[in-house]
Structure 1
Amino acid sequence: MDNNGAWVDWDTGLQHVITGYFQDLFQSSNINLVSVLNGVRPTITCDQNNELLEPISEDEVRKALFQMHPDKSPGPDDSILRVMGFSDRWIGLILSCVNSVRYHVINSGQKMGPIVPTRGIRQGCPLSPYLFIVSAEGFSSLVRHYEATRHITGCKVARSAPTISHLLFADDSYVYCQASEEEASHVLQLLQTFEGASGQKVNLHKSSAFFSSNTATNTRNSICNMMHIQEAGEDSMYLGLPSIVVETKICLGFLKERMRKRINGWEGRFLSRAGKEILIKTVVQSLPSYAMNVFLLPIGTCNEIERMMASFWWKSNNSNGNGSGITWMSWDRMTKHKYDGGMGFRSLRDFNLAMLGKQRWRLLFNIDSLASKVFKARYFPHGDYLSAELGSNPSFICSQYFCCKRYSEARPKEENQPCLFQVNNRWDSDVVKDFFSPEDAAIILGIPIDQSGEVDSWYWVAEKNGFYSVRSAYNLLQDHKHHSANTVSNKFWKILWTLKVPPKAKDLVWRAASNCLATKRNLCIKKVLVESNCPMCDVFAETEWHLLVACDFAWSCFNFAGLATVARDSFSSLLPWLEATTSRVTSETLGRVIMLCWALWAARNDLVWKQRVRRVSDVVAFANLSLDQWINAQGKGNIPLLSPLKDGDGAEQWIKPSSGIKLNVDAAIFASSFKHGFGCVVRNSDGGLISSFAGIKDGSVAPELAEIIGIREALNWLKDNAYTRAIIETDSLVCVEAIHST
């Protein structure tokens, strides 16, 4: 039926009805930008416009491409860009890059269309996330205008806290106002104004209203009915997390169910140990990550999820989902790094604390952010986060932050002693050397003293750049929990996991060396009713050491293969023997030893389960053949070089700046004399030398700090010589990234 109420078919224009429907769906309405543009403030400076219009370098293109994430969003409007202060040339470049798709409808092989949408940008446009920010600026300015004219009232958590009228995330928006019909009508008017200006439509079916606990039920119902939206309930979700938190154990129960469904989907599949490891690390452990970035999961929830992962890891492929298998090693041990004898699985509790630590670091470091201002006004108006007390009636999120505050609490115990300084803010080296040992004095004198008089900032000692990272915080928690001084074993584990042998062989040796192999002796310890005698010799109890080395059959295999390098008589367990073997043979020979251990276990299983007896020569041949086949398979994916390398290929060369000057900075450490130095060369666009300077300072410092000191001296030279634009080049990636991050 067409718009006139007449029935049509393919012969009378059905295709036009179909294409017209979708064309109208994607067609933007007449827009009126005046009401939105009046509130947009120019924020782009002339220098920023000049920087935008500079020639684009290859490095900028590469970084931009890797940072883009495709998503759907409304298109930009050149009017908003112009009001914000962007150059007309830049606006033209942006609009020339923006295009949309042409849709076609296919029915029974018949192509209808095209349908050209004028609302929004096509799915997958790499500019979409950035253009949405521009469009959202118009909505934000409109909300600020309504707030300034007192049509809506924002929310404040404390007297000194900033007023929040709206929050924007991706293509979602939160608007805060008083729970009254008057302000609700103003919000509706605001949304209608933005619809008329942008050509977009607000989906009221996907919108909801949140009310404070003291809002009357009648008021809630009247507002929801007037706005044609629903009230958000306790089970409502936003971005995959509960919108209203009652109790973490209840509201986060969906994480366990989601984990259980994902693991159950893998049950019954034939998965190798290496395959299970990849699934656990890349899929299962990532499921609760977003929730752990916001909430402190209950310890019970973390333990239950870890039990699911452990059961999946240890369970046999033949179990068909029945039982949980024998847990041969605690999850706590398996969270150790592979180089420390574990499997490198994630401790959910420690990772949760590290994730929340990122939020706590932002409260401490980004004091000008909106979140920091809100928390400071509510919980520590006269101090900082580390000196704050929880107080009475805290919010749910704040109480969780304070629960894990002790894990990151660290600050100077005393103020700096002024007697160690001279008047010109230099270390008094004589006083320092009198009070401290030569080693400590060298470290103290190497600490640079700020000459600008700026306020000190926080520094995260676990990262070279001084900024908090989840990875470094997690490693600190793990190191504190799993502190081990057994460097010999650590060396073996590191070599084992880097050997060029099949993962199944490395996994077998890891389980054997960790006493986690399902030998008969270990099964008896786990209360499994089996005979403990070795099936190969039927004399001694079957342990990892006996089965893989001490048994006469196993030792005959080592002798036949020429791998009996370390005598078995001086050892009584497998790990020390492997450590001794590692120190005496090459990595290639050690790989053969590992493969022979795997072949011995395979021969043992053939005898136990299939009653198939293997000869010594068969076991050795099977081990060598399996390793050779695996190595050959790894080499098939290699792509030959198009041309052989020549002398000098890849050598770094100094490149002249296109204009202006370039300063090359480098640093050096003189450990024996407890000093460090720097040097700088200044050249122009013709390659000509303008200046050079160097210096030596007291103190033992890290190489990155010496590089930063050299860069600071280069900046001082630029300031003294009245240069406003220059290129500074250094070979320290850590320093470059640290400067860019600030």
Structure 2
Amino acid sequence: MVRDDDGLLTGKDNIIRKQFVQYFKQLYSPTGQTDQQEDMLEEGDSEAVTEEEELWQIINRHQGAKIQTDMHASITRMPDFHEIKQTLFQMGPDKCPGPDGITARFYQQNWQVFGEEMVQQIRKIFVEEVVPEDWLQCAVALIPKIDEPEKPSEYRPISIGNVAYRLLMKLVANRLRPQMRKVIANQLNAFIKGRSITDNVIMVKEALHSFNKKTFKQKSFLLKADVSKAFDKLNWHFLAKAMRHLNVPAKFISIMMSSYQRAQVSININGRGDGFITPTRGLRQGCPMSPYAFIMAMELMSRMLDQAEKEGIIKGVKLAHSGPTITHLLYADDLVLMGNTSRNELENFSGLLRKFGKVSGLLMNPEKSKLWMAKACGQQDMDRTVQIMQAGMAEGGEKYLGIMVDSNRTSVANAKMLMDKMNSKLAGWKSHMLSHAGRLVLIKSVLMSLPVYYMSVECLPKGIIKRMNSLMAKFFWGKMEKNRYLAPVAWKKVCRPYEEGGLGVKDLQMFGEALFMKLVWEMMGGSDKMWVKVCRAKYCPQIDFWDAKPYSSSSAMWRNIMNLKGEFKSNVRWIIGDGSKIKAVAQPWFNDWDISEQRTMAARKKMVADMFDFDTGQWREDALNEVFNSVQVQNIMQMHPKPARQAVCPDRLIWMQSKSGKYSVREGYQYLLQQTRENTIDARVNMWQKLQKWKGIVPKVKLFLWRLISGGLMLAQNVHRRINRISPMCQRCNAENEYEMHCFFFCQGSRAVWFGSRVGLRTQDLPLNIVEALQYCSTVLKENDIQEFSYTL
């Protein structure tokens, strides 16, 4: 259903097609607008040309990094057979078939047939710098943005290109990717390895925390600006100039412009393509190169704002006296601006954005842009900011990158939103129609992935984690319709690793701590990320992070970091380079280091390099004796390696629980599990470990066996232990209590089943304990018989 020109909902196929084709024609190739800026000169639009010149003058004055020219030969080298094949096999085999319906799997499986021709075509493109026209035809799949879309603008267009075209663009992207981190500013955190979406969320949360403090006297604003249809409206002429400005090799610019300018797009409506459109602007969402092309364009916005701040055109905001000045943050097309509320600054911000929008095609959408003001701002400041920046005030419950950021109790607000998401997922699943194995897969792959993003920036309340665990347990045991139910096995046991007799579901509390410990690691290691610089200036400007403590007015994130810091101190160590970064008594760097010993403030400021004589290559024993005891001094004197004035490697912090020395969430979680691991492993755990090695057993049967040995089956005797009024007697024979061995081996009906099975099991020879019985069967039965035995059970 879609609304027609009169605003009425209609389901007529011809009207739906007309509405979509018209909308996307205007979006990709608007009437009266061309891609070439030279046309402006012919039309006499001198004002637009002047604004573009002013914009480029600001950008060109910025001394930002560029791709080194001596790297061009390596980046644009002729691809060989091996590289092209490797790139093809990096593509998801069944992801996104092209307009011809062929996926990457077809080419991967038939590489020996098509490989040589594919290599020749790509090598030819590298020589001629022109992409064949038949590679450039693509269909646009429409993905709804909301639950009940009624307008074409409420669909997200995803381009479905040929596998050959996507292979070419992936090859180009692979070549340029290592250079992106060198030329893209720290404020841009999208699509760059080592940078994270959570960095921006933390920055915004810290900014709003400062804004709400009475001690923050700056009259400042924070604008969350929405860039309207950013990918679809990017000006190609501007993109080409942006890539030339960053010194992207001309060969790649030519290949990309060739693919953009000669493309033909059809809109896939109800399974059939319609309306061939020749775009004059925009990037293909779904093309491997599009994210990098977009951030190169946005890098110029970042450089424009940075240079404007350096020249005093705008001032930005400092969240702490010694902290960095913040003017903007970028994640893909999500833009955050920060500045003061003076008329001059606001008009300069607005003017810069307007000029950039005219030249690049990336215009702000006032309806979706929101403002936050510092407490120091009066009503006049607010009115002026709203008027000039053309954005509405945030009214509460506002999100940034999917996280609520403007509430004093954001953890509770985000937890509620998370619970709503989990409930909506569970509402669409019919647990009684799924096996326990199927439910387990959904819990691990879907439900456990929901809180990961939230827990990366804040610790969820324990009560919320308990409710989430309860929901997952109810779903696993198939009791969603009941408020109270009998769980055969405690959820805590389900969350144990396989090697400890559990099912490997992550413990949410521990996993949340492991995620948050990543932030502690970045703070301890002195990361160059902006949020780390801001937090150091805001919370420990005069002291080292190792000595920092939480206080009542600090943000919830900082208090959580402080709470987890102690877990880290005993598990990290500095590896000596030149000793210039390591505080001798405040940071661990030798085996007998003990922070609990009290030292003077002067001693705490000494670096390891101060205690070493680089001329003689020996430790200064007198300096060591001033701050360390005799045993520690002897240990240090015998240390290897010793500091070196020109060390091959600088001082490096390592996480001792990892082989690589770098902290990872996975290894952090394993470490936390070890702290709660039981020293004794009982026979049930050993049997479960052995069951994992049984071959030919489907997950559904393995999970049944786990329930069997864990006491997780609702047998009469198991229920009787908890509910006394339930009879423990076997309902089939009424001769004995219904426990595991009786139900599956000793009952008359069970004996008859085993007698008639191909396994030939003599039940009278079995032990009385179910675990011992399974161990006995795994010993006496052959591999084929074990499979038959499992399915018979």
Q: State the AA in 2 paired with 1:397.
A: M
Counterpart residue number, 1:582? 778
Counterpart residue number, 2:710? 514
Counterpart residue number, 2:521? 361
Of 72, 76, 87, the residue aligned with 1:61 is: 87
Cα deviation 1:129-165 (Å, max 9, x = unaligned): 1011210121112112321232221121222211111
Aligned CA RMSD, in angstroms, stands at 4.0
Q: TM-score, normalised by structure 2?
A: 0.64
Change (3 A) 1:586 1:385: farther
Identity, % of aligned positions:
23
| TM-fit CA distance, 1:215 | 1.8
- What aligned pairs does 1:207-218 form with structure 2 within 5 A after superposition? 207-218=369-380
Mind listing any 5+ residue stretches in structure 1 that lack a counterpart? 3-9, 427-435, 598-742
Counterpart residue number, 2:69? 46
- What aligned pairs does 1:159-558 form with structure 2 within 5 A after superposition? 159-247=321-409, 248-267=411-430, 270-315=433-478, 321-323=481-483, 325-382=485-542, 384-391=544-551, 393-410=553-570, 411=572, 415=590, 453=647, 454-486=649-681, 489-499=684-694, 500-527=696-723, 529-551=725-747, 553-555=749-751, 557-558=753-754
Cα deviation 1:434-480 (Å, max 9, x = unaligned): xx9xxxx9xx9998778653443111233322221111111221222
Q: Which moved more, 1:289-298 or 1:479-488?
A: 479-488
Indicate conservation of the 8 Å contact 2:431/2:439, yes or no: no
Change (3 A) 1:146 1:492: same
Change (3 A) 1:512 1:65: closer
The aligned length equals 569
Indicate conservation of the 8 Å contact 1:100/1:122, yes or no: no
SS in 2 for 1:541: coil
| TM-fit CA distance, 1:560 | 5.2
SS in 2 for 1:151: coil
Indicate conservation of the 8 Å contact 1:156/1:162, yes or no: yes
Distance 2:276 2:384 in 1: 45
| TM-fit CA distance, 1:211 | 1.3
| TM-fit CA distance, 1:221 | 2.8
Change (3 A) 1:108 1:511: closer
Indicate conservation of the 8 Å contact 1:28/1:200, yes or no: no
Counterpart residue number, 1:655? none
Of 37, 41, 46, the residue aligned with 2:56 is: 37
Distance 1:108 1:489 in 2: 55
Distance 1:103 1:557 in 2: 64
- What aligned pairs does 1:679-698 form with structure 2 within 5 A after superposition? none
Change (3 A) 1:583 1:210: farther
Distance 2:287 2:32 in 1: 17
Indicate conservation of the 8 Å contact 1:315/1:325, yes or no: no
The higher radius of gyration belongs to: 1
Cα deviation 1:464-511 (Å, max 9, x = unaligned): 222211111112212222334327544421332343223332222211
Counterpart residue number, 2:176? none
Distance 1:222 1:163 in 2: 23
Mind listing any 5+ residue stretches in structure 2 that lack a counterpart? 6-13, 38-47, 93-169, 174-189, 192-229, 574-587, 593-610, 620-630
Cα deviation 1:292-337 (Å, max 9, x = unaligned): 1111101111110110010111125xx7x34454211222111011
Indicate conservation of the 8 Å contact 2:741/2:769, yes or no: yes
Change (3 A) 1:138 1:310: same
Of 281, 287, 301, the residue aligned with 1:139 is: 301
Distance 1:288 1:342 in 2: 21
Change (3 A) 1:487 1:582: farther
Q: State the AA in 2 paired with 1:313.
A: F
| TM-fit CA distance, 1:370 | 1.7
Counterpart residue number, 1:634? none
Q: State the AA in 1 paired with 2:379.
A: T
Counterpart residue number, 1:617? none
Distance 1:64 1:97 in 2: 22
Q: TM-score, normalised by structure 1?
A: 0.68
Indicate conservation of the 8 Å contact 1:80/1:138, yes or no: yes
Change (3 A) 1:47 1:580: farther
Change (3 A) 1:95 1:103: closer
Change (3 A) 1:156 1:315: same
Q: State the AA in 2 paired with 1:502.
A: V
Q: Which moved more, 1:350-359 or 1:64-73?
A: 64-73
- What aligned pairs does 1:60-139 form with structure 2 within 5 A after superposition? 61=87, 72=231, 74=234, 75=236, 77-98=239-260, 101-103=263-265, 114-139=276-301
Matched, 1:593 2:616: no
SS in 2 for 1:266: coil
Change (3 A) 1:460 1:415: closer
Change (3 A) 1:225 1:267: farther
Cα deviation 1:260-292 (Å, max 9, x = unaligned): 121122146611112111111111111111111
Distance 1:27 1:527 in 2: 77
Q: State the AA in 1 paired with 2:771.
A: L
Indicate conservation of the 8 Å contact 1:315/1:326, yes or no: no
SS in 1 for 2:429: coil
Change (3 A) 1:312 1:242: same
Indicate conservation of the 8 Å contact 2:496/2:505, yes or no: yes
Distance 2:564 2:387 in 1: 42
Change (3 A) 1:534 1:396: same
Distance 1:519 1:241 in 2: 45
| TM-fit CA distance, 1:189 | 0.5
Change (3 A) 1:271 1:117: same
SS in 2 for 1:306: helix
Change (3 A) 1:272 1:110: closer
Which of 1 and 2 has higher RCO (CA within 8 Å, sep 6+)?
Answer: 2
Change (3 A) 1:590 1:422: farther
Q: State the AA in 2 paired with 1:526.
A: R
| TM-fit CA distance, 1:349 | 1.0
Change (3 A) 1:293 1:414: closer
| TM-fit CA distance, 1:113 | 5.3
Change (3 A) 1:119 1:83: same
